[in-house]
Structure 1
Amino acid sequence: MIRKLLFASALLVAAPLAQAASCSAVLEGNDAMKFNLTDIPVDKSCTTFTLTLKHTGKLGRSVMGHNVVVTKSADLQAVNADGMKAGLANEYVKPGDARVIAASKVIGGGETTTLAIPVAKLKAAPGPYSFFCSFPGHATLMKGTLTLK
């Protein structure tokens, strides 16, 4: 009987932990121009979603740099084209681009950066949403969907 009570108590304690929203994710990019994730779920209950980008490769920022840009899927191509024109000095993101929901800096091999995505911005602009690397030529392979759930 005591054993059953202890088991039931353990389930009650663990249940709230299992229900907690995950408001963060880790995205890895490598020298082969690939992200480890193609879909990132974002819980609607989060205020801010934190995305950590890890460059698992060895090549430098100016040769094989990676960043993460979040935008509506319909805007991906135009935001990417404008970002390439903006250059590395602007992290391959057009300064003041209102179509960009969030963007990280460009990092090189072995580096990590964190990006805060305001979930209210996702709720305000109906999706679908995409994330991609705006380093020239990378968006073709390094992209995925951000899904508000």
Structure 2
Amino acid sequence: MKTRTTAALLFSALLAGPALAATCDVEIEGSDAMQFNKTSIAVPASCKQFTVKLKHVGKMPKAAMGHNWVLSKASDVQGAAADGIAAGLDKAYVKPGDARVIAHSKVIGGGETDTVSFDVAKLKAGESYAWFCSFPGHASLMKGTLSLVK
């Protein structure tokens, strides 16, 4: 009986193997408490596109407590965030045409979602990337790191 149970567990583990394959998407939640539910994202180099689904789990409107998801090199965060604030809500707090911004979502309010995809070829192995919310005053708390992994 013990051998049969062990064999069944091994067989189940083998079948589950493909389910453990790299995924090319992630869901991130932002709240009215100015927090994301994740602090890091690993992007598999095998992905051609990577998709981020941003979900605002709070109740406040975007004009009061909006959130977005902005990706840049870690060294560009401060400048991209500062220039984004000046761009305003109607531009999703991202300076139009900002080459430092690799990808960004729109600004969403409570109960809303947005999805953004980007070409993984834009990422370079060994480079430090960061993501943040560029809504005024949020970037210092609502941030994380992104890495390209094999």
- 1:93, 1:43 → 2: CA distance? 26
Q: CA deviation at 1:114?
A: 0.6
User: Could you tell me how far apart the structure 2 residues matched to 1:121 and 1:64 are?
Assistant: 30
User: 2:71 aligned with 1:46, yes or no?
Assistant: no
Paired with 2:9 and 2:133, the residues of 1 have a C-alpha distance of: 47
Q: Aligned in 2, Cα 1:8/1:48: closer, same or farther, shift over 3 Å?
A: same
Decide whether aligned partners of structure 1 residues 45 and 59 sit closer, same or farther in structure 2, where only a CA change above 3 A counts: same
Query: How far does residue 8 in structure 1 lie from its aligned partner after superposition?
Result: 5.6
SS in 1 for 2:116: strand
The aligned counterpart of 2:97 is 96
- Correspondence for 2:73: 72
1:10 CA displacement: 4.2
Give the Cα–Cα distance (whole angstroms) in 2 for the partners of residues 90 and 144 of structure 1.
22
Separation in 1, partners of 2:44, 2:95? 28
Amino acid at match of 1:50: T
Alignment of 1:13 onto 2:9? no
Instruction: Name the counterpart of 1:138.
Output: 138
- Aligned counterparts of 1:49 and 1:61: Cα–Cα separation in 2: 25
Letter in 2 for 1:13: L
Corresponding residue number in structure 2 for 1:28 = 29
SS at 1:71's partner residue?
Answer: strand
- Percent of paired sites with the same residue: 57
Partner of 2:109: 108
- SS of 2:52's equivalent? strand
For the residue of structure 2 that corresponds to 1:123, the secondary structure is coil
Residue identity opposite 1:26 in structure 2: E
Distance 1:32 1:8, change over 3 A: closer
SS in 2 for 1:101: strand
Structure 1 runs not aligned, ≥5 long: none
| Root mean square deviation of aligned Cα | 1.9
Change (3 A) 1:8 1:138: closer
* Corresponding letter in the other structure for 1:17: A
**Runs of 4+ deviating beyond 2 Å:** 3-18
